Amino acid sequence: MSKQKESVRIFALGGLGEIGKNMYVVEDGKDIVVIDCGIMFPEEEMLGIDVVIPDITYLVENKERVRGILITHGHEDHIGALPYVLKELNVPVYGTKLTLGLLENKLREANMLNGTKRILVNSESKVKLGRLTATFFKTNHSIPDSVGICLETSVGTIVHTGDFKFDQTPVNGQYADYYKMAQIGERGVLCLLSDSTNAERPGFTGSEKDVGEAINDVFHKATQRIIVATFASNMHRVQQVIDAAEKNHRKVCIIGRSMVNVVNIGIELGYLRVPDGILIEPDEVNRLPAHEVVILSTGSQGERMSALARMASGSHRKFEIMPGDTVIIAATPIPGNEKYVARTVDQLFRLGANVVYSSGGAHSVHVSGHGSQEDLKLMLNLMKPKYFIPIHGEYRMLRVHAQLAESTGVKPENVFICDIGDSVEITKDGARFGPKLPTGNILIDGLGVGDVGNIVLRDRKLLSQDGILVVVVTLSKQKGTILSGPDIISRGFVYVRESEKLLEEANEIVSETLEKCMDDNVNEWASLKTSVREELGRYLYEKTRRRPMILPIIMEV
């Protein structure tokens, strides 16, 4: 290869055109640095799938060049894929204290803690990664210890914001590093990658502290038990619930596996201030008067197996909702979860609870952790980038964010709206789209990583719509007759008891079809099966307008 001009390549393996599985890559000559490594929750049509992770083929093929994975914060869509990815790509992981704390918990569960090199960083750290140098700046987000990343490359500075908003009254006093950001901007940013999640929302995103006040007001008015559901990972929110409990002389019982986990880590690492004796065990709850108790729980998304959903449906082992209890759902539904949350709210109302859920109004029990349009413009104006790549978002969010960037003075030709796998190549002279790199969704179902693909999903879809009919028949080929059967077994098709006639006629159709085939000397199994599938399919569609999967099993003696 001839000596080329210095060139840096930026691309995403996840997080563009989608919400989740964030994974960004910066390649400077032979050195590769990865930023974040998250999961995505499955789309509705990915039936039976638990989570989705990025396809890292490109990284595995260039394993020896990957210098490390930098993590911006400890949310699942930024760290969740690490246990899978580190199995194929054992490189050091860099993160702040809380981020590593949450990651360690995850790696311990996967039995991978010892095999993984974890390096603690903070906003003072400077990390050499081949010819790249990474530094970090503090941001505000719905989890403490979030940082943005500044990469010095051979062509200039590349900044990745991570998830962020600007909170002028942050709960833990952890202000965003305005000076550091402004300084990076003043020195010159070649390319900015910035969070687009809320690019469609006008204005500034509210402060977490306002939520604390709203929660405190609700606590103040409540006369009986209070149940609060929120994201376990939102430690600021958890802190404010504990603070409100303290102010209102209530004890707090933490329930739900992930909530207990996060609270323990938060206490251990010093991110949660928990007054002595305020936490109580589930068994103590029913011994205290109702007005002295707060239950802090998971389930703010209406998840069926969560503690809140089980309380709402009256199937929790320990706790029952009583008329007059106050339930605060301190979260907004993630798109796609609206119906589950609504169902939970309904069930709670039916049990007589006073349910406080986010109206999105002024005095709301939830605010987003992502910056709205004015936050995004402020970031753009602090960084003053030459090139801009909107990240973290579905296509329309990236598009709107691009317009915001242009409104702050970034030249339209310097904005790159990318899909996952699209690469942007930047040299001292300019930037342009480079080659498309391999990407995709790796589906995780149970222990299987990637063993469920389009054919399996298509079959699940078909099965879910109209069920399956298994047709079993034994033939004597020599005699050209049916020896036994056909027997039809159906699952997910019709109530068998009410459809006896239909199934009897279906039986006849199969017999006739097979007999005709044998008379015509069609002896190939494949053809026999195809004929059964076609004739029976046609009959059933005509009678029921349904198309169950038909699985003929033809045995020969």
Site for its own copies contains 109 (CB under 8 A): no
Q: Which residues are annotated as a binding site for Zn(2+)?
A: 73, 75, 77-78, 141, 163, 392
Is the sign of the CA dihedral 9, 14, 16, 22 positive or negative? negative
On whether the CB atoms of residues 49 and 452 are closer than 8 A, the answer is yes
Q: Which is nearer to its own copies, 163 or 466 (CB)?
A: 466
By residue count, the chain amounts to 557
| AA identity, residue 153 | T
Report, in Å, the least distance between residue 131 CB and its own copies: 35
CA atoms within 13 A on the CB side of 223: 3
* Shortest distance in whole angstroms from residue 188 CB to its own copies: 31
Q: Which stretch binds its own copies (CB under 8 A): 107-115, 135-143, 308-316, 489-497?
A: 489-497
**Residue in 104, 246, 374, 394 binding its own copies, rule: CB under 8 A:** 394
167 is catalytic: no
Mention every residue, 6+ apart, whose C-beta is less than 8 A from residue 104: 113, 118
Q: Which is nearer to its own copies, 267 or 342 (CB)?
A: 342
Contacts with its own copies in 331-360 (CB under 8 A)?
335-336, 338-339, 342, 345-347, 349-350, 355, 359
- Nearest approach, Cβ of 312 to its own copies (angstroms)? 12
Q: Round to whole Å and give the CA distance between 123 and 503.
A: 70
How many other C-beta atoms can be found within 10 angstroms of the C-beta atom of residue 519? Answer: 9
Q: Are 162 and 134 in contact (CB under 8 A)?
A: no
Backbone dihedral angles phi then psi of residue 374, each to the nearest 5 degrees = -70, -35
Q: Which is nearer to its own copies, 179 or 433 (CB)?
A: 433
Active site residue 370: yes
Indicate which residue of 160, 316, 370, 401 is catalytic.
370
Return binding residues. 48, 50, 73, 75, 77-78, 141, 163, 232-234, 366-370, 392, 445
Least Å distance, CB 256 to its own copies, is: 21
- Beta carbon of residue 181, minimum distance to its own copies (angstroms, whole number): 29
Segment 435-454, which members bind its own copies (CB under 8 A)?
Answer: 445-448, 451-453
In sequence order, the β-bridge partners of residue 252 are 279, 294
Task: Give the count of beta carbons closer than 10 Å to the beta carbon of residue 74.
Answer: 28
Dihedral angle, C-alpha 428, 430, 433, 434, nearest 10 °? -30
Whose Cβ is closer to its own copies: residue 477's or residue 543's?
543
- Computed from CA positions of residues 351, 352, 356, 360, in that sequence, does the dihedral angle turn out positive or negative? positive
Four-residue CA torsion sign, 387, 390, 396, 400:
negative
Per-residue mark of binding to its own copies, 447-486 (x: CB under 8 A): xx--xxx-xxx-xxxxxxxxxx-x-x-x---------x--
Answer yes or no whether residue 17 interacts with its own copies by CB under 8 A.
yes
Contacts for 108 with CB less than 8 Å, ≥ 6 apart: none
Number of DSSP helices (H) and strands (E) in the chain, helices first: 16, 26
Q: Which residues pair with residue 70 across a beta bridge?
A: 35, 94
Tell me phi and psi for residue 379, to 5 degrees: -60, -45
431-436 and 31-35 beta bridge pairing: unpaired
Site string for its own copies, 194-223 (x = CB under 8 A): ------x-x---------------------
Which residues have C-beta within 8 Å of that of residue 216, sequence separation ≥ 6?
Answer: 240, 243, 244, 247, 248
For position 522 contacting its own copies by CB under 8 A, the verdict is no
**Is the CB of 278 or the CB of 468 nearer to its own copies?**
468
User: How many residues contact its own copies, by CB under 8 A?
Assistant: 65
- Taking CB under 8 A as the rule, does residue 492 contact its own copies? yes
Which of 195, 243, 325, 375 is catalytic? The answer is: 195
Residues with active-site annotation:
195, 370
Site for its own copies, rule CB under 8 A: 17, 43-44, 47-48, 200, 202, 335-336, 338-339, 342, 345-347, 349-350, 355, 359, 361, 394-396, 399, 445-448, 451-453, 455-457, 459-468, 470, 472, 474, 484, 489, 491-495, 498-499, 543-546, 549, 551, 553, 555, 557
